[in-house]
Amino acid sequence: MVKPVVPADANSSSNPGHDDRVYDYNQCKPLFDAVCTGDWNKAKEFLTLHPNAIRARLTSANKIALHYAAELEHEHIVEELVQLMSEEDLELTDKWGWTALAYAAKRANLKMVECMVRKSKKILSIPNGTDNMTPILLASFQEQWDVVHYLYSATPLQDLMPEKGPYGSTILRSFIIGMKFGIALELIQHCPQLVLTKGHDGAFPMEGFMPSAFLSGTRLKFWQRWIYNCIRIEHAISDIRVSVQNEGNDECNRMKITWSKNCALHVAGILSPLAKLDNISGAALQMQREVQWFKEVETIALPRIKESINNDSMTPRELFTKSHKELVKEGERWMKESATSCTVVGALIITIMFAAAFTVPGGNNEETGFPIFLHKNLFMAFIVSDAVSLFSSTTSVLMFLGILTSRYAEDDFLKSLPTKMIIGLSTLFISIATMMVAFSSALFIMIHEQSWIVIPMIFLASVPVTLFIWMQFPLLVEMYISTYGGGIFDKKVKSRA
């Protein structure tokens, strides 16, 4: 039987609905073990015998069973416990001042949040004791907007007024950072004073606007501008600006926040050590890997991080551009030199194959004008391989010319430039191989009776193809895997797409 350890002042509690007794862990171990393992049957059996244990606090973390159930996201146990608890029980906080709703909001578990809020609306406005954030702020900082929308709909507007503290201002700034302009506009219309109220971090809500939220801050294609205009984001923003102007512009123009150190995305934008880059072939592929790394980190970072400023007043992207300036130049030089060399080879093959198409082996029949060996299988192999070599070498040269005339922006190293190089090298390889097939076919047609000469010559014809494979094929494979492979992160572990 549970024998609670009763503090000296436990019986003098001003709230008779609360059980302020502190239970020893060993006494309530069956209950907490059942809750932690998700076994409601055992937990229910214990609570049937000891109903007051539902409010039992452990001396270590001062948590009740509901705290653990919410933290571990045992939804069914949370629902059962909430039914057995009073509204006042849901207000109980742990050692760090966290309610069970705070844990559920941070875990972004909408089902648990709804269950608790239906029982008590008062817990919506209870801030935690660590950073003084209410459940809606915890969810908004995790950008769990389904939970945020529900909590916002359930929160009385008077709890978000400036006189209640910085909570309304902070949630407004979170809406703006998350580009939830519709709900931000609704909140401003209900309480315009929030735009002039500082939040938890001392910032005004309007400082949450990022350049990417405005049409002028982002380069959009035609169809993107059309969609942008259709959803009328600019209308919501203009209404917010009007509200700010009506309340006074001077206070809101104070807009630059600086951070004392780099965030995770800033760190991702710093050039990798040379020892790591040296394992990658070519400056272009090194730059590609750097862009891939930055993009991968960017996909799992919160949107607000992308616009954060470090102590040098630089965003992560600006820091990336600065630290990779020289690598971009080296990558451009590497790509252009490779493309120039390959263009010369491709142009030479075009010339040879074009001429060979009109000077077929054996010549033409003087009466008909058709090739003499037109109906021989080897002649058809010659014509087909000649045509394939001509077309593939032409494609190769065009790809390499595209590389020479590209703009060489940072993001071009991600897919555009490597794709052109992959196509160029692949078609050049095909053109060299088919050129050797055409040469061998023509040679065999002309002197097929002299096998002692033909066979060694055909063997020697394979040497250029072998050399190309030996020197360029590993680079082609590496470039293909780097561009179209699984990526530097396992896609399954991404938290955001």
Dump pLDDT digits (tens) for 43-87. 999 999 888 889 888 777 889 999 999 999 999 999 999 999 999
Categorize the per-residue pLDDT at 255 as very low, low, confident or very high, splitting at 50, 70 and 90: low
Burial 185-206 (b: 16+ CB within 10 A, else e): bebbeebeebbbbbbbeebbbb
Which has more pLDDT, 243 or 150? 150
Q: Hey, what are 352's tokens?
A: 């040879």
Q: Which amino acid is at 331?
A: G
Locate 275 and state its tokens.
Answer: 């020892």
In the structure, what pLDDT confidence band is assigned to residue 245 with cuts at 50, 70 and 90?
very low
Q: Taking the CA atoms of the chain, what radius of gyration do you get in angstroms?
A: 35
Q: Given this model, what pLDDT does residue 23 score?
A: 57
What's the rounded Cα separation, in Å, for the pair 93 and 84? 17
**Residue 17 to residue 89: CA distance in whole angstroms:** 8
* Reported pTM: 0.51
For the chain, what percent of residues have pLDDT higher than 70?
Answer: 79
E strands, 145-260, in order? none
Residues near 197 by Cβ (< 8 Å), separated by ≥ 6?
162, 166, 168, 169, 204, 205
Please name the helix (run of DSSP H) or strand (run of DSSP E) that holds residue 23, with its range, or none.
strand 22-23
d(CA 427, CA 26) in angstroms, rounded, equals 74
Q: 472 Cβ partners below 8 Å, 6+ apart? A: 425, 429
Q: Which of 173-182, 337-346, 370-379, 396-405 has the lowest mean pLDDT?
A: 370-379
